[in-house]
Amino acid sequence: MESSRLGFLTPVDLDEVRAMGKRKALIENFALERSINLLWSPAGSGKTSFMFAFAKHLSSLGLETAFIDTDNGVDILQDRGYDKLIENLKEKLFYVNADTYDTPKERVMGVLNSIKERAKADAYTNCAFIFDSLKFFLNGGIYDEDKIDKFITFCKAIRRAGGLVFVLNHATKKGDSMKGGQSLIDAVDECWAMSTLPETDTHYNYIFEPEKYRMAVRKVGFSVDKKNYDMTPLDVAVASLNTAEKEFIDGVIKLLKDRTYTQGELLQALGKDKADKTSLEYLKRHAGKFWNVEKVGKEKMFTTVTTVQLCDQSA
């Protein structure tokens, strides 16, 4: 009998594949175990703050997180209160900042080599890795196919060992697309475009839009407490706001920081007609979330919220 012409190929070991089990969601619709995620947004939009909240949330699930930060100066640790968070999570969060090294490239590459050397079997089960930001790890070769391939191969080694990977990247100068483009998107399990909703006095608010839907993911949002970095999900409807509605909410929040407004005064200050149906719908829809409304006589009085209320109460 003639032997197979393709017998020289080594087929996938299905027993090994099945032994890994199905990939579980660590955060529903967003973070799945054993996955490589690329998250991008313009510089200064809050990626690092979100990732500290993300790491804290993962710690509450029993995961350890390595946060390799090559994008931020070490001075931000006290400026933003990250130092207290790192201290409180010292058994779960291992934060490395390249700014503390005299030779950052050499020292960080040493860290990466140590991570890769240990990426065997299930060494990184219940572990997450955050790399901030991509340009450093590609040695400036954000559009270099060989460098991209080498770094993604490194990330795949972590994934095979059971780890979750999030890599942060910046937007282009215009801000409407990701640096590196399609080659990077194709290389990872999921690519997330991060945007922000208007923040309140107490909370940052983030939206994440998946670009591939390769895994069980969907558009999601999270609210992060500015003091303790606790992370809670946003109402799905809030997470799907269009640009005009976001701008309207932002305008109302800024006005209410200074004083209380009647509905008529508020609409006038926003340059809207008091009978504008869209504006009236926005005011009604987001009452109790971004502002409070109280009936005083015949007037509706609008005041700022002291505590954000954006969690999906139906969840």
> pLDDT per residue over 80-102, tens digit each?
999 999 999 999 999 999 999 99
pLDDT value for 302? 96
| 258: phi then psi, degrees, rounded to nearest 5 | -95, -30
* All domains in the chain, ordered by first residue: 22-236 (3.40.50.300), 243-304 (1.10.10.10)
> How far is 114 from 27, CA to CA, in rounded Å?
28
> How far is 315 from 299, CA to CA, in rounded Å?
34
Q: What radius of gyration, in Å, describes the C-alpha atoms of the chain?
A: 23
Q: Which pTM does this prediction carry?
A: 0.81
Average pLDDT over residues 259-277: 96
* pLDDT band (50, 70, 90) for residue 300: very high
Average pLDDT over residues 71-77: 94
pLDDT value for 160? 94
Q: pLDDT tens, 285-299?
A: 999 888 999 999 999
> How far is 256 from 272, CA to CA, in rounded Å?
16
SS3 27: strand
Task: Give the residue with greater pLDDT, 201 vs 163.
Answer: 163
